[in-house]
Amino acid sequence: MPSTGARRAASDERLDAVFRALSDRTRRALLERLAVRPAMVTELALPFAMSLPAVSRHIRVLETAGLIERSVDGRIHHCSLAPAPLQIVEAWLSRYRRFWQEKLDSLARFVESDEDACGAPERGKHGR
C-alpha cells in the first residue's frame, strides 16, 4: 500500500497534468467540442488553422491528463470526453472558493454596516 506521501505526490502530479492540459486555449476548445459529443480526430481538427499532427499532439496531452479517451477503429481515431480529472480540479478549487466566499461575506457585512451607519447613499438633484 503506498504511503500518504506517495499518494499525495501522485495526486499532485495528476493535478499538474490536468492544469498543463487546460493551460492551452486549443486544448480547452477541443474539450468544449467533446463536451457536446464524441468526435473523430479529423472532425476535431477542422476548425483549427493547424496541421492534423499538431492537433494530434494536443489530443495526446489531453489523453495523458486523462481528460479524453481515444478508441481506434482501423485508421480512424474516435475521441470522447473523460470528465473525471475535472473533479480533481473542482476539489482543489473548492478550498479556495471557501476562502473567497468568506472574504465576500465579510465585505458584504462591512458595506451593509457602513450603509446603516451613514444612511442610504444620497441621490442627485433629480433622484438619479
* Domains assigned to the chain: 4-83 (1.10.10.10)
Kindly list the averaged pLDDT for each block of 10 residues, start to end, along the chain of length 128. 75 92 97 96 94 95 96 94 93 84 82 73 53
Strands 76-81, 39-40: pairing is: antiparallel
Q: So what's the pLDDT on residue 8?
A: 75
Give φ, ψ of 75 to 5 degrees: -100, 0
User: CA 9, 24, 7: angle at the middle one, nearest 5?
Assistant: 10
Q: So what's the pLDDT on residue 57?
A: 96
- Sign of torsion over alpha carbons 71, 76, 77, 80: negative
Q: So what's the pLDDT on residue 98?
A: 79
Rg (CA), the chain: 23
Question: In this structure, which amino acid lies at residue 93?
Answer: L
Helix 25-36, helix 4-22: angle, nearest 10? 90
